[in-house]
């Protein structure tokens, strides 16, 4: 049985069972049972939507603490480009990179550097393989990749089989550091500074590769306060030249950044989980025009909209535009053919968590049963049963994890019929009493 790790978890104490998250989850992974939310591990894609919506802060994203640095003799920070967009009036990327070194990292390797390599590789794949299924769908957003795996398996052949920039950055950085320091790889910790829980999960339970080279993931919101202080202390003379990426790599953290780096016209970029789902549905139904590439980001605005960031994604986008103004287009290219370290070494297979049964005949009969149950329910998707819709409750009933009585309308009907039955019995008893001749005492 597949084991699951999820960055997104529930704090039961704080949960009020209000069903806000149940309604919002794109994979219908949450139910409220006994007054508390329950996440179905096999369905969750760690998109973080439930964290965003919960008014009681009962949903959390777990990541590693900064103290994890102490576990490695040599550490490399892998900052996501969305980190730069968190700081107001930033003109020079070297400032946050030097702050990371002051914080205790031995070196930094920008994820945007690796992103430029992935862009270059994608161009080569698109240009060199005319028979590829089109459009190619980006594999960079791990929440989208997991969504395709559970809900749109027909689109798996279209997914770009390249490692995400975080993974490429970790591999390059660790190999270079091992060469430079002579340390074994196990003594070098590659620590990713992440904007979202999906990327935490992607490191702990990778797709497309057997093992991630990233050793730990720290949230942007956890390094931000310390970085802010250190950046204020740094003068120009303290700052060494560390940045080595261009506009292309930096732009990966905003919606459209990855697609526009391909310098092709026939692309589509969508962000926000609902828009992503609607694009995937249209792709599945072949409703979209001929496209070369589709970039999809689960978070609104792209990675700058991740729940582990601190800044409003639209403000972050404006900042990034300012920051990249004077940068060259790109600084990193692949030499010849696409290197192995960029390519997937494991298949991403369909996980049939939404199927009713492995046997198609049984699945069809369960589907019919589900439709019949759904027709008996109120059909108003109120959520008071703890499932997001009446159809989802019907599915839970067919799966044996819920009962019709959980629907308050069904319960009311049952109480009403019980009441009717009781009053008819009472009426009958009263009538019988009236018909018994009075006892004259003889
Ligand atoms: S939104 Fe979900 S997790 Fe938050 S209190 Fe309501 S039911 Fe609980
Ligand atoms: S992280 Fe996303 S998929 Fe997982 S339970 Fe929350 S809303 Fe649903």
d(C-alpha 283, C-alpha 278), whole Å: 9
Q: 202 CA distance to ligand 2 centroid (A)?
A: 14
Give the ligand whose atoms come closest to the C-alpha of residue 30.
2
Residue nearest to atom 8 of ligand 2 (CA): 25
Query: Hey, which of 12, 15, 35, 39 would you mutate to test ligand 1's pocket, going by the most ligand atoms within 8 Å of its Cβ?
Result: 15
Write down all domains in the chain, each with its CATH number in brackets.
8-61 (3.30.70.20), 66-342 (no CATH), 360-408 (1.10.15.40)
- Residues near ligand 1 with C-beta < 6 Å? 10, 15-21, 32, 37, 54, 56, 58-59
Mean pLDDT confidence for 98-105: 97
Residues 122-161 pLDDT 10s: 999 999 988 899 999 999 999 999 999 999 999 999 999 9
Q: Write out the H or E segment, with its range, that includes residue 167.
A: helix 165-181
The answer to whether 221 touches 109, Cβ cutoff 8 Å, is no
The answer to whether 334 touches 124, Cβ cutoff 8 Å, is yes
pTM: 0.91
Q: 46 CB under 6 A from ligand 2? A: yes
Residue nearest to atom 2 of ligand 1 (CA): 21
Q: 45 CB under 6 A from ligand 2? A: yes
Residues 270-287 pLDDT 10s: 999 999 999 999 999 999
CA distances from 410 to 367, 381, 384, 387 (A): 21, 13, 12, 15
Closest Cα to residue 327, out of 87, 107, 116?
116
Give the model's pLDDT for residue 263: 83
Residues 50-72 pLDDT 10s: 999 999 999 999 999 999 999 99
d(C-alpha 275, C-alpha 29), whole Å: 19
Query: Hey, which of 27, 41, 386 would you mutate to test ligand 2's pocket, going by the most ligand atoms within 8 Å of its Cβ?
Result: 27
Residue nearest to atom 1 of ligand 2 (CA): 46
In angstroms, how far apart are the furthest CA atoms of the chain? 121
Positions of E strands within 18-168: 30-33, 36-39, 59-61, 74-79, 107-108, 136-137
The answer to whether 110 touches 163, Cβ cutoff 8 Å, is no
Residues 8-40 pLDDT 10s: 999 999 999 999 999 999 999 999 999 999 999
Give the model's pLDDT for residue 442: 47
């Amino acid at each position: 049985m597949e084991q699951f790790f999820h960055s997104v978890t529930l704090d039961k104490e704080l949960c009020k069972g209000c069903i806000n998250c149940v309604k919002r989850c794109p994979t219908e992974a949450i139910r409220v049972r006994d007054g508390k939310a329950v996440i179905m591990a096999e369905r969750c894609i760690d998109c973080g939507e439930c964290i965003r919506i919960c008014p009681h802060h009962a949903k959390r994203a777990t990541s590693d603490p900064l103290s994890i640095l102490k576990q490695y003799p040599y550490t490399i920070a892998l900052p996501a480009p969305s980190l730069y967009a968190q700081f107001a009036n930033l003109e020079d990327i070297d400032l946050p990179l030097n702050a990371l070194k002051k914080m205790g990292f031995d070196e930094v390797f920008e994820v945007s550097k690796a992103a430029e390599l992935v862009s270059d590789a994608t161009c080569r794949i698109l240009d060199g393989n005319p028979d590829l299924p089109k459009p190619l769908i980006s594999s960079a957003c791990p929440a989208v990749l997991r969504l395709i795996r559970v809900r749109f398996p027909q689109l798996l052949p279209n997914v770009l089989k390249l490692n995400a920039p975080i993974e490429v950055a970790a591999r390059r950085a660790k190999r270079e550091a091992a060469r430079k320091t002579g340390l074994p790889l196990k003594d070098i910790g590659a620590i990713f500074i992440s904007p979202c829980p999906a990327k935490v999960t992607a490191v702990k339970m990778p797709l497309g590769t057997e093992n991630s080279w990233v050793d730990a993931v720290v949230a942007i919101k956890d390094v931000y306060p310390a970085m802010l202080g250190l950046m204020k202390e740094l003068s120009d003379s303290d700052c060494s030249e560390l940045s080595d990426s261009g506009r292309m790599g930096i732009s990966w953290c905003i919606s459209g950044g990855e697609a526009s780096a391909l310098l092709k016209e026939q692309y589509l970029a969508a962000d926000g989980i609902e828009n992503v789902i609607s694009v995937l549905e249209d792709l599945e139904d072949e409703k979209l025009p001929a496209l070369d590439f589709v970039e999809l980001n689960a978070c609104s605005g792209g990675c700058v909209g991740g729940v582990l960031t601190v800044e409003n994604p639209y403000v972050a986008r404006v900042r990034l535009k300012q920051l990249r103004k004077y940068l060259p287009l790109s600084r990193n290219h692949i030499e010849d053919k696409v290197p192995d370290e960029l390519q997937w070494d494991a298949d991403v297979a369909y996980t049939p968590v939404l199927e009713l049964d492995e046997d198609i005949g049984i699945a069809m009969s369960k589907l019919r049963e589900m439709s019949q149950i759904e027709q008996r329910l109120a059909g108003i998707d109120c959520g008071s049963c703890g499932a997001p819709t009446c159809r989802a409750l019907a599915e839970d009933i067919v799966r044996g994890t819920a009962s019709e009585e959980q629907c308050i309308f069904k319960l009311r009907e049952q109480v009403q019929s019980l009441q009717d039955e009781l009053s008819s019995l009472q009426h009958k008893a009263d009538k019988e009493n009236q018909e018994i001749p009075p006892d004259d005492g003889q």
